[in-house]
Amino acid sequence: MTTRTRPRALLASALSLALVALTAGGAAAQDGTAKVRVLHASPDAPAVDIYLDGMEVLSDVPFGVISDYLEVPAGDHQVQVVAAGTMPADGTVIDATVGFAADTMTTVAATNALALIEAQVIADDPAPTMDGALVRIVHLSADAPAVDIAPDGGDALVSGLAYPDNTGYVALPAGAYDLEVRPAGAMDVALDLPEIELAAGAAYSVFAIGSLAAGTLQVLPTLDAEADRVTSVAAVRVLHASPDAPAVDIYVDGARALEAVPFGAISGWLQIDPGMHNIQVVAAGADPADGAVLAADVDFAAESLTTIAAANALSAIEAKAFVDGTEMYALAEGNAKVRVIHLSADAPAVDIAPDGGDALITELAYGAASEYLEVPAGDYDLEVRPAGAMDVALDLDGVTLEAGHVYTVFAIGSLAAGTLQVLPVVDFPTE
């Protein structure tokens, strides 16, 4: 999920000028700062400029665009919305005094039709952890009825959400979700949401905006916050990559952390205290005291991210640990990063290449991970070949890399058994 914003450099430039004035005493400030962002959600209103205490902080914002969070001194502030290129003295579309408490996050949305335009002040209090994702739905389509939110064809997760209310942040397991918006109590689909990828450690808002009558109803997903990955804790995820092993339970220091994990499944990021920990893999439902399929002591450094894979055939099962450095998450705008980890024990070293093209990754052997490659976001057709050859061992078509995301592609399964496959995983989005 990505957030539509104006170029950050322009926002930063405008904001820096505004904050100089505010810090000099332009606002009734308290101690500390607050974060605020602005959403243009009035479907028939023109592009607008946003003024804060008489200073322009955002310019030429069209319908459907939300700004980055802007940091402002805590206290009461005058928020004015004017048609782009005009001055507040010539008349405002919205003129409101809004109080921002220290250490808070707030979304101010211009909603409803232009003739009835109003400001919605929405408190944002995301508190994501690495245990899963947080998501909330915000109903900002003034002429749309109350709605239910549900998985495609399934029971409603959210019922009777009316304008301009929101669900609050709901905890969900990380993963991909196909959702639909229905009139409250009905099964008719008013709006089919594109697949939403929720990453562990992230909090999202999904704004329903536009006009039902005008046929412009749409959704705007935003990334609100991410868990602090530079902390005194470590994070670990576990992958079942032993092709002939049964479903397993994972124990950490004698306590069960994951249950009935099948081959080809990877957990979300789990927080763990730094230091040495005993990891045990047992057949699902078994007691570690009766014998573990795999047992290993792993040292987790503070602020580290580690992937542990149970790899190789069951008779030779072993633990492979891959430490992920935080420096890999810096990305140029419009780019993604991807690496490949070879976990098929009976497959030879391989090259990874675009279909028929030169190899991007060469001689990647079992148990090894490539470096992260930064590439333009988009769809890629790739192939896996035996190292140095042009024969195609595995064809990877339609690999989609989204801007601002970091991916690992695991090669798992058995070549001899014909189960060789790839498992693409979003490490996390960075914007």
pLDDT category at 329 given cuts 50, 70, 90 is low
Helix (H, G, I), strand (E, B) or coil at 335: strand
**For residue 381, pLDDT beyond 80:** yes
Residue 2, in any domain of the structure: no
| In a shared domain, residues 220 and 269 | no
- Residues 14 and 28 grouped into a single domain: yes
16 & 161 share domain: yes
In the chain, what percentage of residues exceed pLDDT 90? Answer: 60
- The answer to whether residue 123 scores a pLDDT higher than 80 is yes
Is 256 among the domain residues? yes
What is the band of 284 on the pLDDT scale with cuts at 50, 70, 90? very high
Which residue in this structure is represented by tokens 């705007």?
220
Neighbours of 138 (CB within 10 A): 27
Q: What is the 3-state secondary structure (H, E, C) of 39-90?
A: EEECCCCCCEEEEECCEEEEEEECCCCECCCEEEEEEEEEEEEEECCCCHHH
Q: Examine the pLDDT at 403 and tell me if it is beyond 90.
A: no
Same structural domain, 142 and 241: no
In this predicted structure, the answer to whether residue 303 has a pLDDT above a threshold of 80 is no
Query: What CATH number should be reported for the domain holding residue 316?
Result: 2.60.40
Q: Is residue 1 in a domain?
A: no
Please give the pLDDT value at position 327: 52
Contact present, 161 and 147 (Cβ < 8 Å): yes
Together in a domain, 23 and 136:
yes
Q: Clarify whether residues 190 and 235 are in a common domain.
A: no
- Beta-ladder partners of 311: 241, 318
User: What token pair was written down for 157?
Assistant: 């997760």
Shared domain for 208 and 241, answered yes or no, is no
In this predicted model, what pLDDT tens digit does every residue of 8-50 receive, in sequence order? Answer: 333 333 333 333 333 334 444 467 899 999 999 999 999 999 9
* Residue carrying structure tokens 């008719």: 188
Residue 4 has pLDDT above 50, yes or no: no
What amino acid occupies position 73?
A: P
Across 157-167, b (16+ Cβ under 10 Å) vs e yields: bbeebebbebb
Model confidence band, residue 273 (pLDDT cutoffs 50, 70, 90): confident
Q: Average of pLDDT values for 77-99?
A: 94
Q: Are residues 217 and 171 in the same domain?
A: yes
Report the alpha-carbon distance of residue 199 to residue 185 in Å, rounded.
Answer: 30
Q: Residue 11: its pLDDT value, please? A: 34
246 and 214: one domain? Answer: no
Q: Is residue 314 situated within a structural domain?
A: yes
Residue 97 lies in a domain: yes
Burial of 424 (0-12, 13-18, 19+ CB in 10 A): middle
Higher pLDDT, residue 165 or 179? 165
**pLDDT score, position 328:** 55
Phi-psi region of 331 (alpha: psi -120 to 50; beta: other; left: phi over 0): beta
Look at residue 340 in the predicted model and tell me its pLDDT: 93
Domain boundary among 195, 226, 257: 226
Mean pLDDT across the stretch 317-334?
78
Q: What is the 3-state secondary structure (H, E, C) of 220-263?
A: EEEEEEECCCCCCCEEEEEEEECCCCCCEEEEECCEEEEEEECC
Are 282 and 336 in a shared domain?
A: no
pLDDT at position 5, please?
Answer: 35
Region of 427 please: left (phi>0), alpha (psi -120 to 50) or beta.
Answer: alpha
Distance CA 38, CA 47 (A): 13
Which stretch of DSSP H or E encloses residue 272?
strand 270-272
In a domain, 43, yes or no: yes
User: Distances in Å between the alpha carbon of 321 and those of 296, 308, 324?
Assistant: 10, 4, 10
Question: Where is average pLDDT lowest: 78-92, 143-157, 219-233?
Answer: 219-233
CA distance 61 to 41: 10
- Average pLDDT value for residue range 409-425: 92
Final residue of a structural domain among 175, 192, 226: 226
Q: What's the mean pLDDT when you consider all of the chain? A: 86
Q: How far apart are CA 3 and CA 7, in angstroms?
A: 12
- Residues in contact with 71: Cβ distance below 8 Å, sequence separation at least 6, in sequence order: 15, 19, 33, 34, 35
Domain boundary among 177, 211, 226: 226
Asked whether residue 425 is domain-assigned, the answer is yes
Residue 92: closest CA among 101, 83, 105, 102: 83
Query: Degrees (nearest 5) of the Cα angle 29, 32, 36?
Result: 80
Residue 305's domain comprises 228-324
Same domain, 187 and 316: no
Mean pLDDT of 360-377: 93
Q: Is residue 3 part of a domain?
A: no
Nearest Cα to Cα of residue 65 among 92, 93, 41: 41
For 341-392, give the DSSP string: EE--TTS--EEEEETTS--SEEEE-TT-BPPPEEEESEEEEEEEEETT----
Number of domains in the chain: 3
Question: Tell me: the pLDDT tens digits for 103-122?
Answer: 999 999 999 999 999 999 99
Among 10-19, 228-237, 297-306, which range has the highest average pLDDT?
Answer: 297-306
Residues 362, 318: one domain? no
The Cα 82–Cα 200 span in angstroms is: 38
